[in-house]
Structure 1
Amino acid sequence: MNVECVSRTHVGCKRKINEDAILVASERGLWAVADGMGGHESGEVASGMVVEALRALPDNPVPDEAAADAIDVLRRVNRELVDMARVQSREKSIGTTVVGIIVADDVFRCFWAGDSRAYLMRDGQMHRLSRDHSLVQDLVDAGMLKPEEAEGHANSNVITRAVGVSETLEVDVVGGVAQSGDLFLLASDGLTRVMTDQEIAAELRHGANNQAIDALLDCVIERGAPDNVSMIIVKLG
């Protein structure tokens, strides 16, 4: 299956450094976005460690085994980050979210921890693959908050799971059959806090992928880009 991939990462308009990191390994069917946690020290260290650990994974053509390998290295990095924060006597964790896609043998696996997101566009319809590990999403799931109220909520930046923030790390995985024409989008919350799913889907339906990703970035910047923003678009041919 042929693969077309484009990616962008940008510091945004408010931050001084880019704490996001991206992994593009199209030859191995592996892509990931890591978002160093804003407000935590050395977020860029955490996201960089996650991406480099995933980059160093041996190639595995069996999707479930490849996903298990990815989770194993994320848990290893989690322990390293927890130990690093403890040794340095930091009051805050050294943490990062992560979302990744593996495509092999005509199937895909999506893995994530935190609120960086994965989407699948198929036959013109966009589906969110990941579920935010966040306080707001928990409130929505519990019926205490309407989905439309979640956007712009005062606690929208409170995440409940990430690499490096607790002794144990749980990573969620979903998957399915990969089809020719499928388009995957991985994005940090620098995109999804600024644009709605409907707005993102509209841009993805227009034109070539490099044009779509530039249009998404331009829109975020026009709206003030309060955070770093990173995106990967993967199109299967």
Structure 2
Amino acid sequence: MGFECVTRTHVGLRRKVNEDSLLECTERGLWAVADGMGGHEAGEVASAMVVEALAGLPITSNLEADTANAVSAMIRVNQELIVLARSDIHPRTIGSTVVGLIIRDGQYRCFWAGDSRAYRVRSGVIRQLTRDHSLVQELVEAGMIAPDEAHNHPNANVITRAVGAAETLIVDTVGGDARPGDQFLLASDGLTRLVDDGEMRDEMAEFEPSEAAGKLLDAVLVRGAPDNVSLIIIKVV
């Protein structure tokens, strides 16, 4: 089983610093997107720490062990970020969302904390693999707002979980089979807030990963790109 992979990241049109970080280890079957928060370059530091910890993981042939190692690494970085934040003259939250993907022998595992997302496109059908850790997602699930109200909700940027946000970090995981022809998309909310699932599906179903990634990034820029935007497309071949 092999992979085609393409990455894109852009500071956007309103931010001065790109606080997103990407991990692309295609030869190891490991990818991740981290979206930092904290301002004044703190978010950039946090997302870089997340990616560096994942890049340093030992990779085995055991998918469950690799997933457990990734989760443990995120918990370790969580504690490091809390210590870093407390050492500042003005204590604050320094954190990062993360969404990661591991593929081994026809199986995948996603792990995540926050609202960066993973999708799979198979036979022209897109499926969101992750569930946002966000206030608006909780409101949707409680029936307090409709799903189509989530994007424009005034609290759309409020996340309820991130690496570095609280003493205890729970990293969610999900898995399934990975087949030739499947495409996986990892993305920060800079993409998913401006491009809906149907548009992502259409671009990925019609075009090869490199062209699809470019078209998705262009769509965000045309729509004003108020945030950093990052994405990784992985095609199983």
Instruction: Give the drift of 1:106.
Output: 1.2
2:204 aligned with 1:204 = yes
Deviates more, 1:205-214 or 1:73-82: 205-214
Q: Is the 8 A contact 2:38 2:92 kept in 1?
A: no
What is the TM-score when the length of structure 1 is the normalising length?
0.98
Q: How many residues align?
A: 237
Amino acid corresponding to residue 219 of structure 1 in structure 2:
A
CA distance in 2, matches of 1:38, 1:126: 32
Deviates more, 1:82-91 or 1:187-196: 82-91
Where do 4+ consecutive residues of structure 1 move more than 6 Å?
Answer: none
2:222 aligned partner: 222
Amino acid corresponding to residue 80 of structure 1 in structure 2:
E
2:148 aligned partner: 148
2:181 aligned partner: 181
* Residues 16-70 of structure 1, C-alpha deviations (whole Å, 9 max, x = no match): 0100000000011000000002647600000000000000001121111101000
CA distance in 1, matches of 2:52, 2:21: 9
2:108 aligned with 1:108 = yes
Q: Which runs of 5+ in 2 are unaligned?
A: none
Q: Secondary structure at the match of 1:205?
A: helix
Q: Which runs of 5+ in 1 are unaligned?
A: none
State the identity %.
59
Instruction: Give the drift of 1:88.
Output: 1.4
CA distance in 1, matches of 2:74, 2:90: 21
2:48 aligned with 1:48 = yes
CA distance in 2, matches of 1:178, 1:200: 19
1:30 aligned partner: 30
Amino acid corresponding to residue 179 of structure 1 in structure 2:
R
What is the TM-score when the length of structure 2 is the normalising length?
0.98
Instruction: Give the drift of 1:110.
Output: 0.3
Q: Secondary structure at the match of 1:13?
A: coil
* Residues 103-131 of structure 1, C-alpha deviations (whole Å, 9 max, x = no match): 01210000000000000001110000000
Q: Is the 8 A contact 1:40 1:92 kept in 2?
A: no
